């Protein structure tokens, strides 16, 4: 069985600390994604807040609780059956998390808190207690991880083994050097992990720069064979993916999961 899925990863003009403005720009982006016919829409990590906060006090000013009604407003941009994944800065009591929310027009389906923190994030955020998460959604079993999470090969593999049919990956990738003609290194890692587990991967990255850090602009949709199905074109990477729920066969003789040797690792 195969299931078609139109997926969109969206660039958004995210401004640090401007929660109200970011929410409005996110709402506009969600409407644009929905208008393109996308059934799955992915937005960047910490899209509501920006990233490079000086300290916890400044970050806390840009945080939202899970049940903040301003997040509900975003759901109004989503037609029935459309699923969005949004990175946001979560406040829970006096703790901050780098989180992602899975939304439909009807409900908040789930939440995930980043488990692998990059650089100064560990001074701002608590770590999550799962390494990615899988949610049942109207578009199938959806894996969610955030940025550096996916550079640990255990994460996309475990999500696929747990039944994820597609992976939503909000990121904030600082630009790093790479040889001419090569994809960003994080894209190469995602292409490899997508192919290893037949796990299409929808990546929404930042553009431009923030407080002196240039972003990679790596917004990309990767298909289940590990090839690039779309990169950002005028702010949207849009691709028609084919999901293959539960099917990891390569041929009658080989199967990406069936050939594993769990007795050995």
Helices 185-197, 154-161: crossing angle, 10 deg rounding? 30
Q: Going residue by residue from 101 to 120, which x/- string records binding to a second copy, judged by CB under 8 A?
A: --------------xxxxxx
Among 28, 52, 110, 189, binds a second copy (CB under 8 A): 189
Nearest residue to 103 (alpha-carbon basis) of 80, 133, 126: 80
3-class SS of residue 33: helix
Using CA atoms of 59, 65, 69, 72 in order, give the dihedral in degrees to the nearest 10: 100
Question: Among 15-23, 24-32, 46-54, 257-265, which window interacts with a second copy (CB under 8 A)?
Answer: 257-265
> In angstroms, rounded to a whole number, what is the distance separating the alpha carbons of residues 48 and 36?
22
Q: How far apart are CA 203 and CA 16, in angstroms?
A: 20
45 is an active site residue:
yes
Q: Which residue number, 41 or 145, has a Cβ lying nearer to a second copy?
A: 145
Among 179, 180, 233, 234, binds a second copy (CB under 8 A): 179
Pick 16 or 160: Cβ nearer a second copy = 160
Q: Nearest distance from residue 94's CB to a second copy, in Å?
A: 23
Residue 39, C-beta contacts closer than 8 angstroms, at least 6 positions apart = 5, 6, 7, 81, 82, 83, 138, 139
Binds a second copy (CB under 8 A): choice among 181, 212, 233, 234 = 181
Listed in sequence order, the residues at least 6 apart from 133 whose beta carbon sits closer than 8 Å to its beta carbon are: 110, 112, 143, 144, 145, 159
Q: Does 255 bind a second copy (CB under 8 A)?
A: no
242 contributes a contact to a second copy by CB under 8 A = no
Catalog residues that contact a second copy under the rule CB under 8 A: 115-120, 122, 127, 129-131, 148, 151-155, 157-158, 178-179, 181-182, 185, 188-193, 195-197, 225-228, 251, 253-254, 259-261, 264-265
Q: Which residues are catalytic?
A: 45, 114, 147
């Amino acid at each position: 069985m195969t299931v078609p899925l139109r997926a969109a990863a969206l660039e958004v003009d995210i401004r640090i600390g401007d929660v109200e403005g970011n929410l409005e720009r996110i709402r506009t982006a969600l409407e644009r994604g929905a208008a393109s016919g996308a059934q799955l829409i992915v937005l960047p990590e910490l899209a509501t807040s920006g990233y490079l906060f000086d300290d916890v006090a400044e970050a806390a000013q840009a945080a939202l609780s899970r049940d903040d009604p301003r997040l509900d407003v975003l759901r109004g941009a989503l037609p029935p059956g459309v699923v969005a994944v949004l990175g946001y800065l979560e406040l829970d009591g006096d703790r901050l998390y780098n989180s992602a929310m899975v939304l439909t027009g009807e409900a908040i389906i789930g939440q995930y808190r980043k488990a692998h923190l990059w650089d100064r994030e560990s001074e701002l955020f608590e770590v999550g207690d799962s390494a990615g998460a899988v949610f049942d959604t109207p578009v199938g079993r959806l894996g969610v991880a955030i940025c550096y999470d996916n550079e640990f090969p255990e994460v996309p593999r475990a999500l696929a083994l747990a039944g994820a049919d597609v992976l939503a990956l909000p990121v904030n990738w600082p630009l790093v050097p790479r040889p001419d003609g090569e994809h960003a290194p994080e894209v190469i890692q995602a292409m490899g992990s997508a192919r290893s587990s037949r796990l299409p991967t929808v990546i929404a990255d930042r553009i431009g720069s923030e407080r002196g850090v240039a972003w990679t602009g790596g917004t990309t949709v990767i298909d289940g064979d590990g090839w690039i199905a779309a990169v950002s074109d005028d702010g949207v990477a849009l691709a028609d993916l084919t999901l293959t729920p539960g099917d990891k066969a390569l041929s009658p003789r080989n199967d990406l999961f069936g050939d594993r040797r769990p007795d050995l690792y």
